[in-house]
Amino acid sequence: MPTVPPERTPPLVLVLFGASGDLTARKILPALANLADRGRLAEEFTVIGVARTPWSDEEFRRVAMKDAQYGGERWRKLVERFRYIPGEYAATDTFDRLKGLLAEADERYGTRGNRVYYLATVPSVFAMIADALAKEGCNAPGEGGEFARLVVEKPYGHDLQSALELDAAVHRAFDEDQIFRIDHYMGKETVQNVLALRFANAIFEPVWNRRYVEQVQITVAESIGVEHRGGFYETAGALRDIVQNHVMQVLSLTLMEPPTGMDATHIRDEKVKLLKAVDIPTPDEAVDKSVRGQYTPGVVDGVAVPGYRAEEGVAPDSVTETYVALRLRVENWRWAGVPVYVRTGKRLPTRVTEVALQFHNVPFLAFDGELARQLRPNTLVLRIQPNDGISLHFGAKVPGEEFRVQSVAMDFLYERAFGEDRGTDGYPRLLHDAMCGDATLFIRTDEVEQAWRIVDPYLEAWSEPGGGLHLYRAGTWGPHIADLLLERAGDSWRNPEL
Ligand code: NDP
Ligand code: BG6
């Protein structure tokens, strides 16, 4: 994408707060193994894990080998260097040990005072750790070092107010250019490719506006439930978990104006400008333009699955939403009047993330027949996952004497074009960029703020009586009322399986 990051990271120590956790195990360690095996980590590199679980260095190394078991020889050698500090996150002796191990790493492995601190722990301790790092002088590089950076996981706050408070606390400890807020969707190749499609091709940009586009639909559908994260999900819900971050990122890249440069500042300036143009509804409008749902027991992929309220860590009378549909408006010259429909949900029939731009119908259809009447509007679909690619749906003549027209699709598949399975997990790319200091794919403070400004009214409206919850059977496309949200405007959801 935009800038070309150096092949290898500079020398540094990566400090993982929350080293005993799920994210470290499932995403960060495998991403590190991937980078190690591809020669993307400096020789002068090591990892220090910090968490309260009373592991030894050896236990942490064993976990690292198990969680990234496909890692090769380079990874195995790197893991031998790993150190682990068991302790409370903000306790003085945790930091005394940390400073000792950082100095030792500089000495033994030549990590040269450079640090990347990764907050891969529960959000309630983010501010406390940032504060402790500053108090202990760890917010600046060690001797001879060039940088000390802070990588912060999502969720960044649970509403606008708490995000502002968290930001103020983090900014007391680190400057904005030291902070790398992660949204793993930005690490996905296909999300980045939205920029390539729009700005490296002459044919799309002229039609990328209200004159040609009738509506935009963004779908983030998951067939999984909340898995083992019920406790976390209860405090979040689909709007905070997916819409505030992943959907807003995809939406801003899809609808923003062309940036004048493909670097962190220009791209993020345009994303923020776009987010500022998204209409903020009144509480009444918010109820009217949104649907929230929760799955009940059903069948997904032929397997019977429990309802949300029976998931581990979920209250039996929970009113947390696992499905959201919104009708948004972008009030600017390019998009005025074009509805932007957004939906996300767990336990939907299939896993698919896509952006669909549906174009206006022809002004007059001269073809007769049932097939012509069933013609679907031209649609450009950016498929982010799975089978990442791009499809253009258009009408074609059915072979034969009669002149009959039918919808067909022209398909581009990344895997076929580039001949490799590039995976859709953004973590290796994002970790590498953070370690190299490239902030292009990370979320700037004003982006977080704008995204919360957009979703906050829905949170508020839903907390009032009337901001109801609609149940849907697992394995279906959400509550029926979500169809009505579009039908009222004469529209309907695209079937991503077509
Ligand atoms: P976990 O629940 O696994 O927690 C991570 C670690 O934090 C635990 O191992 C635990 O370590 C410590 N911890 C747990 N509760 C507390 C507490 N109350 N006070 C202090 N420490 C605590 O979380 P995840 O690893 O799933 O998530 C970490 C971060 O990454 C979160 O911000 C999450 O939203 C984000 N994230 C996670 C994803 C995932 O798939 N897991 C995906 C995207 C983002 P110990 O007890 O040893 O200190
Ligand atoms: C995470 C959410 O941010 O994204 C999860 O917390 C969700 O609930 C996940 O399952 C989806 O990511 P992906 O890459 O599988 O689309």
Q: Which fold would CATH assign to domain 12-153?
A: Rossmann fold (3.40.50)
Quickly state the pLDDT bin for 464 (edges 50, 70, 90): confident
Query: Does residue 2 have a pLDDT over 70?
Result: no
pLDDT digits 0-9 by tens, 173-212: 999 999 999 999 999 988 989 999 999 999 999 999 999 9
Residue 415 has pLDDT above 90, yes or no: no
Q: What is the pTM of this model?
A: 0.94
Q: How far is the CA of 120 from the centre of ligand 1 (A)?
A: 6
Which residue's CA lies nearest to atom 6 of ligand 2? 241
The SS3 call for residue 423 is coil
The burial of 183, by beta-carbon neighbours within 10 Å (0-12 exposed, 13-18 middle, 19 or more buried), is given as buried
C-alpha of residue 88 to centroid of ligand 1, in Å:
14
How does pLDDT run across 130-180, given as a tens digit for each residue? Answer: 999 999 999 999 999 999 999 999 999 999 999 999 999 999 999 999 999
- Structure confidence at residue 420 (pLDDT): 66
pLDDT tens, residue by residue, 376-405: 899 999 999 998 999 999 999 889 888 788
Residue of 28, 122, 184 with the most ligand 2 atoms within 8 Å of its CB, for mutation: 184
Amino acid at 211: R
Ligand 1, CB within 6 Å, residue ranges: 18, 20-23, 26, 51-53, 120-123, 125, 153-155
11 CA distance to ligand 2 middle (Å): 31
Contact 277, 335 (CB under 8 A): yes
Q: Is the pLDDT higher at 192 or at 11? A: 11
Q: What is the pLDDT of residue 423?
A: 57
424 CA closest ligand 2 atom index: 14
How far apart are the CA of 197 and the centre of ligand 1, in A? 36
- Ligand 2 pocket at CB < 6 A: 222, 241, 353
Which residues does residue 290 pair with via DSSP β-bridges, in sequence order?
Answer: 326
Q: Residues 158, 184, 246, 432: which is the catalytic one?
A: 246
Domain boundaries, the chain: 12-153, 188-423+444-485
Question: Which amino acid is located at 210 in the chain?
Answer: R
| Catalytic residue check, 480 | no
The best mutation among 222, 234, 250 to test binding of ligand 2, ranked by most ligand atoms within 8 Å of the C-beta, falls on 222
Please give the Cα distance from 476 to 454 (Å, whole number): 27
CA dihedral (488, 490, 493, 495) positive or negative: positive
Nearest one of 274, 273, 270 to 251, comparing CA atoms: 274
Task: Name the average pLDDT for the chain.
Answer: 93
Mark 227-264 as b/e (b = at least 16 C-beta within 10 Å): eeebeebbebbbbbbbbbbbbbbbbbbbbbeebeeeeb
Q: Could you report the per-residue pLDDT of 282-332, keeping only the tens digit for each?
A: 988 999 999 999 999 999 999 999 999 999 999 999 999 999 999 999 999
> Domain 188-423+444-485 adopts which CATH fold?
Dihydrodipicolinate Reductase; domain 2 (3.30.360)
